[in-house]
Amino acid sequence: MTNSNSENSPLLQQQKPPLSRPKNRRRRSSFDPSTYNSIGTIADTPSTQDVAKEAGLDLIQILGLTICMAGVQFTWTVELSYGTPYLLSLDLSKELTALVWLAGPLSGLLVQPLIGAFSDKCTSRFGKRRPFIVVSGILTCMSMIGVAYAKEFGAWIARSFYSPEKFDQSAHLYAIVVAVSSFYFLDFTLNAVQAICRALILDVPPLWQQEYANAWSARMSNSAMVIGYFVGFMDLVKYFPWMGDSQIKVFCIVAMAVFVVTLAITCVAVKEKQYVDTEDQDNLPWYHTFHYIWRAFRFLPKPIQSLCNTQFFAWMGWFPFLFYSTQWVSDLYFASHPASSPGDDNWAEGTRAGSFALLCNSMVSVIAGMVIPALVMRFEKKGIWWLSLLNVYTCSQLIIAGSLLSAWFIRSVTAATIVLAIMGIPWAIVLWIPFSLVGEYVSYEDERRKKPTQNQLEDQQDEFDAGMILGVHNMYIVFPQFAVAIISSLIFAASGEVKDPNDEGRSNVSTVLAFGGLMALIAAVISRYIVRVKK
């Protein structure tokens, strides 16, 4: 480790170029670990000092840059609120419905790295990200039209290609086909828009403003989530009968309007960086992009790799909560409100109890997203170390661990609702701090490239831009989703075979949640090894 003021820092020296580059030299990122200082941040360099002088964005520009995340999150609420009930209303089995939700992790695993890699090298005169936002946004709207009018499309296909006596059967079949296909397409296209919007938010602000910009991005997402759930709760057909004859139709139309307006504001308001092509793209092999993705996954810079390691275990804790929290509240409700007669399970009341708990979670996350970033940024300016970004991130993992582990002992709906509301605090943090850390590193690298040394010029082909880094970062979030799905199935199978008679009133979901709490504890420990760029 070197001191931050060391005159021997490689970023402060101009080294002589080697005579030749060894053929078998292992490719690496241009980031030099010797620039770490003793407190776990990247040592000061002339470039980071220049960053502090760079003009940032005012509040109106930040809002214009981040409002696209509100449109993305509002659109996600359509799928999260009505996806499963809508598919079940089409008589799709629960088993097939579960397969539909594999679109989420598959799209995150495939689309975000690819779209990040392509946009990183886009040389369009409209900017690197804007063309992808426009195309992906149009495809997302087409997907939502397919979801909203699946029955009408199914009836049109049946009427056009089948005889009248087979109309009902074929119309029902094709309605399911259109709905499932549209949901899959929606997942892929919306993931693409989300990836590009996040990359754009990392591209534009300078290093010293990354924390501020990503805090507003999280606020936009949290606010849109609350508004989206509230709009979905309303009787939209009653208030907007001219938009459609079903809740899903009206909700999709409203979501498309919000989505288009927010993306249009971002595209018009943001002055985007343009990529300067330093390579002959026409002479590169067809597999160049896939090789770029593999190199990014294999040779991530150490600061990003340490963050991704933490995110892997953090989301091993988050996915049990996201998958099963409402089911947990419902199970506790049924345990404390047994059916008055056989067949009377009162499922509507149990589901409403779970929905109310999620509403409390969303409201807390909005408040936390407004208060915590403001406090952290103010205290960091004053040099108060105990409320630093990394300390807050570690504390958020401890809150997750404590909340989920407490599920093992909770027996009442009220206590469960309080736990879900508390989880809104770390949810606001997980939407903010990881992307802020990535943004700080990307801005640091952008500034460093403006004054390259000979060694940095040699390794320039091994550098990764915001879109690619975000794509790989998202892969570390997607992998836990597959793992949690498998582990949860095993836990449910084991808890079904071994039943403790003293556990009356406790849902077997609590075991899965407790497992998530243990993973969050591991994430809290690993988070202490994250290296942050020093502003």
Residue 54 pLDDT > 70: no
Which has the higher per-residue pLDDT, 46 or 308?
Answer: 308
What confidence score (pLDDT) does residue 228 get? 85
In whole angstroms, give the CA distance from residue 349 to residue 413: 12
Nearest to 69 by CA among 347, 280, 205, 258: 258
Q: pLDDT per residue over 453-484, tens digit each? A: 555 544 444 566 777 788 888 889 888 888 88
Give the C-alpha separation, 173 to 96, whole Å. Answer: 14
Amino acid identity of 495? S
**What is the separation of C-alpha 154 from the centre of its chain, rounded to a whole number of angstroms?**
33
More confident of the two residues 466 and 14: 466
- How high is the pLDDT of residue 350? 61
List pLDDT tens digits, range 408-437: 888 888 999 999 999 999 999 998 999 899
Spatial CB neighbours of 169, under 8 Å, sequence gap ≥ 6: none
How far is residue 429 CA from its own chain's centroid? Answer: 12
Q: Is 342 left (phi over 0), alpha (psi -120 to 50) or beta?
A: beta
Residues present in the chain in total:
535
Amino acid sitting at position 213 = A
What do you get for the CA distance between the two ends of the chain, in Å?
19
Confidence at 86, pLDDT banded by 50, 70, 90: confident
Q: Is the pLDDT of residue 519 over 60?
A: yes
Domain ranges for the chain: 58-273, 293-450+462-534
Judged against a pLDDT cut of 90, whether residue 364 lies above it is answered with yes
pLDDT over 50 (residue 25)? no
Nearest CA to 362 out of 114, 88, 127, 77 is that of 77
Asked if the model's pLDDT at residue 138 lies above 90, the reply is: yes
**Residue 294: what pLDDT?**
76
**Per-chain mean pLDDT for the chain:** 79
| CA distances for 199 relative to 66, 336, 409, 422, 533, angstroms | 11, 47, 41, 29, 18
Q: Which residue has the higher pLDDT, 203 or 53?
A: 203
Chain segment 320-362, per-residue pLDDT in tens: 888 788 778 877 887 776 655 444 445 456 666 777 787 888 8
Q: How far apart are CA 479 and CA 115, in angstroms?
A: 18
Instruction: Decide if domain 293-450+462-534 falls under CATH 2.40.50.100.
Output: no
Say yes or no: do domains 58-273 and 293-450+462-534 share a fold: yes
State the Cα angle at 256 between 255 and 262, rounded to 5°: 90
Distance CA 280, CA 34 (A): 33
Per-residue pLDDT at 440: 87
User: Which range is most confident: 108-122, 299-313, 381-395?
Assistant: 299-313
Mean pLDDT of 187-203: 90
Identify the CA nearest to 478 among candidates 167, 95, 102.
Answer: 102
Calpha distance 495→500 (Å, rounded): 9
Contacts of 132 (CB under 8 A, 6+ apart): 115, 118, 119, 122, 192, 196
More confident residue, 157 or 383: 157
Using DSSP's 3-state secondary structure scheme, residue 241 falls into helix
Amino acid at 518: L
In angstroms, what CA-CA distances link 62 with 126, 204, 257, 270, 432?
A: 20, 10, 22, 9, 15
Identify the pLDDT of residue 26. 41
CA gap 248, 363 in Å, rounded: 24
Give Cβ neighbours of residue 438 (< 8 Å, ≥ 6 apart): 202, 304, 307, 466, 469, 470, 473
Render pLDDT for 248-296 as a digit per residue (tens, 0 to 9): 889 999 999 999 999 999 999 998 866 655 555 555 655 566 666 777 7
**pLDDT tens digits for range 115-125:** 887 888 788 88
User: 58-273 — its CATH code?
Assistant: 1.20.1250.20
Residues 208-233: pLDDT tens digits? 888 899 999 999 998 998 888 788 77
